[in-house]
Structure 1
Amino acid sequence: MRAVLRWVAIGAGLVMMATAALGMAAYRKFSGNIRTDQATERVLAAAERAGERPRALVPQARNILVLGATAGRKKPDGSRADAAVLLHLSADRGRAAAVGVPGGLMVSAPSCPRPDGGGTSPAAYEPFGAAFAHGGAACSIRAFERLSGIRVDHHLVVDDVPGFAGGRRDLLRTLAQEARGGSLTHPARLYGVLDTATSSITADPGLSSLPALYELAGRLRKVPADRLVVTDLPAAPEPGAPGAATPAGRLLAALRADRPLTAGVRARPDDQPKR
């Protein structure tokens, strides 16, 4: 989860800085690499018209669901990888929270159009990660909104990064080395790295450009370290829907109301703000 958060917070800034050194043609190329997820927008718009999406209790706050390409995929030990990270920015932009959503968390997923156009997936009570496998980002968003009552304002899907043994972490390290101090040390190498980085991102129309991602990265970097909380929702299902009396219910209620995630409302009492 922290790796995904670092990718959003650091990667966009490095891409913009390095792209500036390569020039306007590179900027247009790399911005064009970012895929715009119009299909998910259509599904969410239809759900909105049907009254099936939650309303935002604090409209100025922002909730961004960051999905990995390995969302919910089973690991060798049989457990599921984290399916998503909910990135919450407070209305005053002075606080942020990154909440991991485990792939094994049981949710009530709605019927969703299949990404390949092959009909629709049936509504099911299933692991959260399976919603992405069956219906892509739209199904993940709708399942999460049903579970949490939190309206998702934006979403990002970050693919695996080919050609880098350490995945996103290795890619970030290479970007930092190539773009250090705004200098351009190996143009051909940097061009290839940036081409790979931007090609790994799919986003809703509000985030599918370099300036939009750079603005998001800037907001994250301005949040004081002691006001950024990193935590997880419990993977084990709780009796019934998450209510205010459960740890998950307290955490989700705080996010809906844009309240600070103090120790008393976090899913795990031992979670601490990211230092």
Structure 2
Amino acid sequence: MTGQQDRQRGRRSRAFKAVGLTLAGALVLGVAALGWAYRHLNDNITSVDIDNALGDNRPPRAVTVPTPSGTASATPLPTTALNILVLGSDSRSGAQNQELGGGDSTGARSDTAMVVHIDAGRTGATVVSIPRDTLVDRPSCPLPSGGSTAPAYGAMFNTAYSVGGPVCAVKTVESMTDVRMDHYVEVDFSGFAKLVNALGGVTVTTAEDIDDEDSHLTLAAGTHHLDGTQALALARTRHGIGDGSDLGRIGLQQTLVKALLEQIAATDLLTSPTRLYEVADAVTGSLTTDTGLDSLTELTELARSLKSLSSERLTTVTMPVVPAPSDPNRVVAREPAASQLWGSLRRP
């Protein structure tokens, strides 16, 4: 072998070594970045130990449905129905929330309340909206300090969150429905707006003109592609539509929920790691959950089980109500229709 061949082999060896070191370095940096991202997303989530706070004096959990024979798969879907209380809240302080109309930490309110019932096979779901102006009997709720709130009769539904936070919101819903809330999810104003922006906006169709000075939203009837701030304003609009009651706003919120599902389905997040991270960061950064959903792993598992759930398989309803005899500006549950609705959620 000549000296020139030796030099060429030496150069190739050094080149291969440099490439190997570069790839190894990139791999290490990539793993480190993934580890940092996972920790960051996990740390974003705020959780409340609702099960421990409420103890065993609660409605029973849903019954497990037997899996039909011949339907085994490598990743079987859950065989138990799931009920999740979802609140839209302005409870978190901060410049972004206040800019979007949120309150400070001493003025917590639950502007939106939905019970999401997911069937045992994860092929369908029902979203039941509870008007925040509903008058209910609010039970005594445990407080983190060790004390408890006083029970109240004929109180507005959204006062449960105001006086006792997530624990009291869950206990009040379970008391009025006799349906066990398996999980709790709370989304704040700024996080919702960030999520919509991370998804590239959301397209909705409104049946009538909207002009609401309180939510700062003006839209002509028709189809619109909204950014995060506009979508949040739509979710909060009530005075610019219908009779100005909370029932009109609920209709807009239900339209928005279906539109978001369609937008998520149309957005292939797996082909864009950057957008996937933006969406994950927006979601986790806006969440308060129970301890059963307070990790990225648990949230991902729930999302995986719902991958076949489309907007066509989502039913949206509002708890049947009538004007309250004591106050025409408030509502009460319309019976027996309300009890029949909640009863349908207790069946497998």
Q: Same fold (TM over 0.5)?
A: yes
- For 1:1-275, what aligned pairs fall within 5 Å after superposition? 23-38=34-49, 40-45=50-55, 48=56, 52-59=57-64, 60-70=80-90, 82-114=111-143, 117=145, 119-125=147-153, 126-161=155-190, 166=193, 168-173=195-200, 180=269, 182-184=271-273, 194-236=280-322, 246-258=336-348
How far apart in 1 are the matches of 2:281 and 2:121? 34
CA pair 182-101 structure 1, distance change in 2 beyond 3 A? same
Structure 1 residue 181: deviation in Å? 5.0
Letter of the 1:36 counterpart = S
> Which amino acid counterpart does residue 89 of structure 1 have in structure 2?
I
Superimposed CA distance per residue, residues 70-117 of structure 1 (whole angstroms, 9 cap, x where no aligned partner): 38xxx9xxxx975311111112222211111221122211112345x3
1:54 alignment partner AA: P
TM-score when normalising by structure 1: 0.66
CA deviation map 1:211-257 (0-9, x unaligned) = 22122223333125433211111354679x968x6222221111111
Q: Distance in 2 between matches of 1:141 and 1:20?
A: 39
Q: The residue matched to 2:112 in structure 1 has which SS?
A: strand
SS in 1 for 2:345: helix
SS in 1 for 2:137: strand
1:183-223, CA deviations, whole angstroms, 9 ceiling, x for partnerless residues?
3569xxx8777545422211112111112212222333312
Larger strand proportion of the pair: 2
Q: Which residue of 1 aligns with 2:256?
A: none
Q: So what's the TM-score if we normalise by structure 2? A: 0.53
Once the two structures are overlaid, the 10-residue window that deviates more, 216-225 or 202-211, is 216-225
Please give the alpha-carbon distance, in whole angstroms, between the structure 1 residues aligned to 2:343 and 2:283.
35
- Is 1:111–1:121's contact at 8 Å kept on the other side of the alignment? yes
Secondary structure of 2:315 counterpart: strand
Aligned with 1:107: secondary structure? Answer: strand
| Structure of greater relative contact order (alpha carbons < 8 Å, 6+ residues apart) | 1
Distance 2:117 2:178 in 1: 14
Runs of 4+ with >6 A deviation: 174-179, 190-193
| Structure 1 residues 157-190: Cα deviation after superposition (integer angstroms, max 9, x where no partner) | 112216x8x454334437989985533569xxx8
* CA 1:167–1:191: 2 relative to 1, 3 Å: closer
User: Per-residue CA shift, 1:95-143, capped at 9, x if unaligned?
Assistant: 211111221122211112345x384321012111110011011111111
Change (3 A) 1:58 1:98: same
* Separation in 1, partners of 2:86, 2:291: 14
Q: Residue 9 of structure 1 aligns with which residue?
A: none
Pairs aligned (count): 219
| Greater C-alpha radius of gyration | 2
| Structure 2, gaps ≥5 residues long | 1-29, 65-79, 92-100, 102-108, 202-262, 326-331
Q: Which runs of 5+ in 1 are unaligned?
A: 1-18, 259-275
Cα deviations across residues 248-273 of structure 1 (Å, max 9, x unaligned)?
Answer: 22211111114xxxxxxxxxxxxxxx
| Aligned equivalent of 1:10 | none
